[in-house]
């Protein structure tokens, strides 16, 4: 595994040996990105559902999932070499 601009990148030999073929990043980094993406998509849907919800379940799920998204983002930042910064929200 090598690093390119602080991002873990698989060498050609590592890619061929792992069976992934053409992925420019390692599995662990990809998994964090994919999980964060899924979590953010879920949050977007929950926010739509919350508009019609009288029980508050979706607002509770939003609160919990935001915490999970923050944990995934922090893990991804650490994986990418401690990159900091926030896009707001």
Mean pLDDT of 14-39: 81
- pLDDT recorded at residue 22: 78
pLDDT, tens only, 34-64 = 999 999 999 999 999 999 999 999 999 999 9
User: Looking at residue 74, what is its pLDDT?
Assistant: 97
Contact 27, 18 (CB under 8 A): yes
CA angle 87, 30, 10 (to 5 degrees): 120
Q: Give the chain's radius of gyration (CA, Å).
A: 17
Helices (H) and strands (E) in the chain, counts: 3, 2
- Residue 66's Cβ-count burial label (10 Å; 0-12, 13-18, 19+) is middle
For residue 12, pLDDT beyond 70: no
Contact 23, 10 (CB under 8 A): yes
The per-residue pLDDT for 48 is 97
Of the pLDDT bands very low, low, confident and very high (cuts 50, 70, 90), residue 5 is low
């Amino acid at each position: 595994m090598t690093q390119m601009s602080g991002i873990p990148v698989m060498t050609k030999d590592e890619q061929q040996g792992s069976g992934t073929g053409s992925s420019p990043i390692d599995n662990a980094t990809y998994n964090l990105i994919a999980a964060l993406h899924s979590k953010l998509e879920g949050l977007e849907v929950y926010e739509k559902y919350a508009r019609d919800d009288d029980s508050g379940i979706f607002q509770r799920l939003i609160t919990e999932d935001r915490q999970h998204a923050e944990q995934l983002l922090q893990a991804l930042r650490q994986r990418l070499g401690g990159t900091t910064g926030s896009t707001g929200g």
